[in-house]
Amino acid sequence: MIEKLSKIDFKQRKYKEKQSISLDEFLNWFNNILHEVNTIKEKRCKESRQNWLWVCAMCITYGLRPTEVAAAKNLFEPVIIDGYTFPAICDPSNKELLLVLGDFTYFEVSIKTGNRVCTPMIKSKEMIEKLQIRNVSLPKYQPKKESKNKTICEGFSKQYRQRLQKWECPVSQMYAFRHLANQLGEREGIPQEIRARSLGHSVAVNDSTYKKRSNIRTTVDLLLNHKKQPLPLDLAIEALKAAGFDVEEEADNSVKAILRIIYQIEL
């Protein structure tokens, strides 16, 4: 039997297609579903659709795994950690929109990478308004009491995926939104280390797995419209000198004052 099995070519040559979606494709789909939601008269059905559509928006904005949305702690109320206050996401004055994730969802299942603080991969105020991120609308998910943790967790994701399919989303793989968020963060000029920390994985994973699943339209947009990273202090000073600025004057010099403000140092 071993001799016969040794002759089997077990190398995998066919792989499941990895889906991707561009921001324009997502927005077209999102706006269409939102329009349909606004035409629904039955309150319960309308609220359910709004809730799950909001989860989609959160996954795009923060690059979250679906169940991680249910672990957010500062959706409705501010959260204080080590003396630092994270304002509620629904607070209109909250400009940074940092999202605090706990170790467990509200239905008491642990999330994959534990607690962390996430920054939005989308920084445009206009886009945040379009996605209605501040209109917090968390789905009500009530698993059966006898269900195991894995079944409960998969149940939330299953309901999420079923709605993507039912609403004819361009993608049915839940992680497609997460991968798009990573690309959007790159376009916004967010360093890879920050994106990896916010998404809850290592830089190595971000550099390998996530880049392999890039959407071509978003890639082109990234290459043409990315936001440049600020220069390190030493290079910035040299660039200013090359441009004819005098950075060696007294402390009240405007160039030095600007550098002190930007880099938060004493020159």
What are the tens digits of pLDDT across the range 117-172?
A: 999 999 899 999 999 999 999 998 887 766 666 677 788 989 999 999 999 999 98
Q: Tell me what pLDDT residue 148 has.
A: 65
For residue 198, give both structure tokens.
């916010």
What are the tens digits of pLDDT across the range 180-218?
A: 999 999 888 888 889 999 998 887 776 666 565 567 676
179 to each of 6, 39, 124, 230, how far by Cα in Å? 39, 31, 18, 25
Pick the range with the lowest mean pLDDT from 38-52, 109-123, 167-181, 241-255. Answer: 241-255
pTM of the model: 0.75
d(CA 99, CA 116): 8
pLDDT band for position 250 (cuts 50, 70, 90):
low
Report the SS3 class of residue 11.
coil
pLDDT band for position 81 (cuts 50, 70, 90):
very high
d(CA 261, CA 259): 5
